[in-house]
């Protein structure tokens, strides 16, 4: 431990500010509250703050951050300049240090967010011990009032002297280069120890349940009345997530410069409490009810992140409690209420098969690709064959998806419609016109460029399907990912048992992949049944009319030997699964592919999450048995 006189401390900080090579960010007053801001003078630095309005996450994941720039007047031009300006954060309280460690764990977990990583590498943290306790904080109950790692320097302002603990060699070097200091004296160290030891008792608010029991408590209370009661008072204003040091979901959008030539892709803060957080192009909102959004935040903190990373993602800073107008955001109140009135209705909320990810390199940078074939399939659907300009094969499995970029418009997740074939460098997509990106895609022609990221997610596990009887059940444009699997199976036909395909559409005009269907019809080794919801007058149609479940009784299958693979609109699953189970099929034999708002593709942005599952990582293909008990899945 080192110590400085107050004057030495001021000289040290002043030296940092005068040195132009870094941004020096420190806690300053803002009205009656505090915030982290660029320090212009050492006089502005406060170490007696209770808590800042926003956590220091805003300097690691800025509210508005450029990911890369593009120029749409050129064929395909992107440039990325990673954040390289070093910065020092001064005055970070222990609970915020812990929050930054959690953010590091999430963002630097593979696939690594390279932009975050670059910023983080250039950041030094000078933490400070808590002198004043925030009114609503309960960090003491969580043990987050002190830290032993995660900082480069840790300072304790004792009034006359400042005691400094060196956390890293970078911190030690900083001290050496800019400061004059002494070895801390034993009485000084004793004072620091006492200050820390006395902290927990000074907290007004105390948690009545140990943080290691949060997960258990929440799993027992998914149906507790508190969610509804509190959600009725919720504005869906996102305040609790924005001010939270462990909420770091984001949105991505393209912004054009006024010259309409250049632009940038930016990420901005987003939050799961906001209504449109789960909105997809077709207009579906997956977490529409305020209560589902309200509850999700607590489960993310107390169940989903702990399951993946082993930490409770609440540090007890009290920011949400202070800033929520309706005062419903405080985890302390919620946890204490649950502990006192647990309904003990156990739900497991499991996360299926976490698998290592192959994604490497910059996560946001799309690869240049060219449209080499385009075919209008229906009024709203267009088929594309696309090739990466590097001529490398995409390297996908059936059922995976890619993110397609049109610079200036944005990015959309599209499932891959072609089967992987050895030696083939192109892949195929089916795009339905529903939002901005897909509308613009429709206008692009052969020879034009798009950006491609991916493939992402888990596709169909063809190894597990081998030797089985297969029943493909596709609805609407669910036929696109299904086609990749059907073609794969037909190309390796002898490795599979009986195969049947049931396909339902709105009307005969919306049937996709007619060319493929005609080829498949000539084969005797795949049973095919078709249905439409209705058939317009004067249109020739020899298939069924009615819902897709009507087709199931038309196929003779052995429910024990058969695996059913279902891909379709969200509404279809419940009915099809019910029908299959009536026929004696078990959950283990049902495979589904789910649609969500996959935005980042790498399990960070949070949009595609249902309960603890990231569709972009663990999905979109799931074994029904793994997710059937997750309330947000269907």
Q: Mark the segment that binds another protein (CB under 8 A) among 112-120, 203-211, 232-240, 377-385.
A: 232-240
Distances (CA, A) of 91 to 30, 445, 454: 15, 55, 40
Closer residue to another protein in complex, CB, 53/517: 53
The verdict on 247 binding another protein (CB under 8 A) reads no
Per-residue tokens: 422: 């050895």
Place of tokens 């982290």: 36
Site string for another protein, 9-48 (x = CB under 8 A): ---------------------xxxx-x-------------
Distance CA 349, CA 220 (A): 10
266 to 325, contacts with another protein by CB under 8 A?
Answer: 269, 271, 274-276, 290, 323, 325
Distance CA 157, CA 48 (A): 8
The verdict on 238 binding another protein (CB under 8 A) reads yes
Q: Minimum distance from CB of 384 to another protein (Å)?
A: 19
Exactly one of 13, 39, 51, 54 binds another protein (CB under 8 A); that residue is 54
- Give the CB-side neighbour count of residue 580, counting CA atoms within 13 A: 29
Phi-psi region of 594 (alpha: psi -120 to 50; beta: other; left: phi over 0): beta
Burial status of residue 300 (CB atoms within 10 A of its CB: 0-12, 13-18, 19 or more):
buried
Distance between alpha carbon 277 and the CA centroid of its chain, in Å?
11
What would the DSSP string read from start to end of 208-269?
Answer: SS-GGGHHHHHHTBTT-HHHHHHHTT-----HHHHS-TT---EEEEEEE-TTSSEEEEEEEE
Q: Mark the segment that binds another protein (CB under 8 A) among 134-142, 237-245, 546-554, 581-589.
A: 237-245
Site string for another protein, 62-101 (x = CB under 8 A): -x--------------------------------------
Q: Minimum distance from CB of 431 to another protein (Å)?
A: 16
Q: Mark the segment that binds another protein (CB under 8 A) among 96-104, 211-219, 238-246, 606-614.
A: 238-246
The verdict on 433 binding another protein (CB under 8 A) reads no
Q: Minimum distance from CB of 568 to another protein (Å)?
A: 26
The verdict on 232 binding another protein (CB under 8 A) reads yes
Q: Minimum distance from CB of 54 to another protein (Å)?
A: 5
CB 50 within 8 A of CB 318: no
Q: Minimum distance from CB of 48 to another protein (Å)?
A: 18
Q: Minimum distance from CB of 80 to another protein (Å)?
A: 22
Distance CA 429, CA 432 (A): 10
The verdict on 434 binding another protein (CB under 8 A) reads no
Site string for another protein, 404-423 (x = CB under 8 A): ----xx--------------
What would the DSSP string read from start to end of 332-379?
Answer: HHHHHHHHHS---B---------------S-SS-PEEEEEEEEEE-SS
Distance CA 406, CA 439 (A): 11
Q: Which of 398, 403, 393 is nearest to 459 (CA)?
A: 398
Site string for another protein, 123-142 (x = CB under 8 A): --------------------
Q: Minimum distance from CB of 454 to another protein (Å)?
A: 23
Contacts of residue 422, defined as CB under 8 A and 6 or more positions apart, other chains included, come to none
Exactly one of 149, 223, 326, 536 binds another protein (CB under 8 A); that residue is 326
575 to 634, contacts with another protein by CB under 8 A?
Answer: none
Name the residues that contact another protein, by CB under 8 A. Answer: 30-33, 35, 53-54, 63, 232-239, 242-243, 256, 258-260, 269, 271, 274-276, 290, 323, 325-326, 408-409, 435-436, 439-440, 443
């Amino acid at each position: 431990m080192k110590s400085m006189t107050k004057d030495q401390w001021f000289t040290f900080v002043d030296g940092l500010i005068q040195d132009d090579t870094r941004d020096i960010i420190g806690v300053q007053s803002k009205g009656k509250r505090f915030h982290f801001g660029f320090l212009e003078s050492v006089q502005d630095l406060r170490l007696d703050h209770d808590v800042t309005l926003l956590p220091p996450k805003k300097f690691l994941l800025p509210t508005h951050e450029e990911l890369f720039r593009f120029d749409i007047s050129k064929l395909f031009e992107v440039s990325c300049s990673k954040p390289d300006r070093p910065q020092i954060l001064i005055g970070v309280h222990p609970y915020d240090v812990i929050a930054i460690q959690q953010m590091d764990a999430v963002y630097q977990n593979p696939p690594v967010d390279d932009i975050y990583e670059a910023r983080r590498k250039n950041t030094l943290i000078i933490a400070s011990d808590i002198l004043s306790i925030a009114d609503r904080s309960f960090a003491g109950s969580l043990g987050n009032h002190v830290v032993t790692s995660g900082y480069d320097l840790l300072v304790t302002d004792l009034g006359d002297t400042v005691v400094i603990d060196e956390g890293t060699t970078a911190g030690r070097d900083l001290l050496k280069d800019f400061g004059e200091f002494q070895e801390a004296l034993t009485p000084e160290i004793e004072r620091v120890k006492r200050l820390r030891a006395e902290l927990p008792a000074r907290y007004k608010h105390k948690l009545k349940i140990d943080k290691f029991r949060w997960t258990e408590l929440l799993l027992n209370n998914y149906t507790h009345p508190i969610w509804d009661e509190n959600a009725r008072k919720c504005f869906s204003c996102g305040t609790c997530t924005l001010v939270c040091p462990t909420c770091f979901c984001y949105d991505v959008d393209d912004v054009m410069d006024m010259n309409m030539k250049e632009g940038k892709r930016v990420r901005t803060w987003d939050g799961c409490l906001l209504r449109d957080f789960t909105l997809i192009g077709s207009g579906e909102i997956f977490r529409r009810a305020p209560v589902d959004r309200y509850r999700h935040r607590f489960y993310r903190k107390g169940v989903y992140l702990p399951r993946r990373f082993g930490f409770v993602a609440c540090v007890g800073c009290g920011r949400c409690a202070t800033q929520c107008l309706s005062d419903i955001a405080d985890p302390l109140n919620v946890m204490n209420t649950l502990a006192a009135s647990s309904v003990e209705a156990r739900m497991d909320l499991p996360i299926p098969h976490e698998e290592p990810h192959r994604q490497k390199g910059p996560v946001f940078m799309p690869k240049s690709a060219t449209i080499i074939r385009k075919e209008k399939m229906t009024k709203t659907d267009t088929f594309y064959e696309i090739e990466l300009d590097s001529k490398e094969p995409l390297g996908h499995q059936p059922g995976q998806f890619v993110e397609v970029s049109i610079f200036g418009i944005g990015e959309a997740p599209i499932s891959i419609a072609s089967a992987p074939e050895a030696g083939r460098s192109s892949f195929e997509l089916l795009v339905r016109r529903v939002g901005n990106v897909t509308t613009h895609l429709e206008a692009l022609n052969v020879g034009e460029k798009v950006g491609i990221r991916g493939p992402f997610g888990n596709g169909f596990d063809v190894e597990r399907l081998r030797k089985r009887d297969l029943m493909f059940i596709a609805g609407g444009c669910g036929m696109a990912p299904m086609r990749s699997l059907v073609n794969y199976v037909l190309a390796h036909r002898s490795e599979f048992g009986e195969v049947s395909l049931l396909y339902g559409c709105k009307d005969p005009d919306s049937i996709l992949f007619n060319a493929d269907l005609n080829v498949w019809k000539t084969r005797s080794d795949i049973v095919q049944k078709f249905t439409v919801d209705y058939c317009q007058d004067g249109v020739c149609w020899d298939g069924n009319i009615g819902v897709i479940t009507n087709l199931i009784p038309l196929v003779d299958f052995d429910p024990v030997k058969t695996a059913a693979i279902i891909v379709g609109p969200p509404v279809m699953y419940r009915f099809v699964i019910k029908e299959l189970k009536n026929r004696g099929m078990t959950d283990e034999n049902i495979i589904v592919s789910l649609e969500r708002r996959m935005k980042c593709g790498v399990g960070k942005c949070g949009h595609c999450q249902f309960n603890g599952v990231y569709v972009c990582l663990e999905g979109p293909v799931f074994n029904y048995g793994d997710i059937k008990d997750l309330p947000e899945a269907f």
